[in-house]
A and B are shown apart, each in its own frame.
Chain A
Amino acid sequence: EVQLLESGGGLAQPGGSLRLSCTASELIFATYDKHWVRQAPGKGLEWLSSVGGGGAATAYADSVKGRFTVSRDSSHRTLYLQMNSLRAEDTALYYCAARRGCSGAICYGLEYWGQGALVTVSS
């Protein structure tokens, strides 16, 4: 069954760091584009970052560029989001999401979502 499972959320101080993990099923990890999306309490969705199925191509939202880094560990089928220089406005539920990428002339939306990991940045 297709599955994404986030972990690593918690409380961090402003200026501190946290690393989120997202463990994926074999199919998703091997071939799907993987993304991080967050949702601040009571707010909308914000796309943060992505890594392509092959792991080479990454992209970031301006709000996190230079502070957050996405990476993957193939041996553990795990996607990571290293979050540094955290700010109060980074407080949110962080989702790992995945899509098939593009097949022929069709590029898919985010088909699979984890349940989210809550990050709270507060002193």
Chain B
Amino acid sequence: DFQMTQFPSSLSASVGDRVTITCRASQGFGGWLAWYQQKPGKVPKLLIYKTSILESGVPSRFSGSASGTDFTLTISSLQSDDFATYYCQQYGNYPWTFGQGTKVEIK
């Protein structure tokens, strides 16, 4: 099966920092990759789909990119509302798979 390896599993950052989270795919899948944000006790929220398309209403400080089989979520200037867990998900091949998650914590 398709594997998505997400790293780091956690990171500590300060407000205003630039943050990057990476997902590495075990094989190509057409770039059908989404990023989700989940806050404690809350439902996941779609941030980005098709590698780099921002979901409506998501702040422009979030961006997505790819290089080969590495996919990156970047938060250009971390805000207090961004402390959460982030997941990547490939949806190019069934079964769909999520990355393991990255918890972004306050430094």
The size of the chain B interface, using a CB distance under 8 A, is 25
A side interface size, CB within 8 A = 23
Closest B residue to A93 by beta carbon equals: B43
Nearest CB of A to B39, in Å: 13
Q: Are B95 and A109 in contact (CB under 8 A)?
A: no
Interface of A is mostly: strand
Closest to B102 in A: A44
Q: Known: A95-B43, A109-B89, A111-B46. Contact between A44 and B34, CB under 8 A?
A: no
Q: 1/0 per position for A88-107, CB-CB distance to B under 8 A? A: 00000001010000000011
- Distance in angstroms from B41 CB to nearest chain A CB is 10
Within 8 A of B (CB), among A74-123: 95, 97, 106-111, 113-116
Residues of B within 8 A of A (CB): 1, 32, 34, 36, 38, 43-46, 48-50, 53, 55, 87, 89, 91, 94-101
**A-B complex: 6 closest residue pairs judged by Cβ atoms:** A109-B34, A109-B49, A47-B96, A59-B94, A44-B101, A113-B43
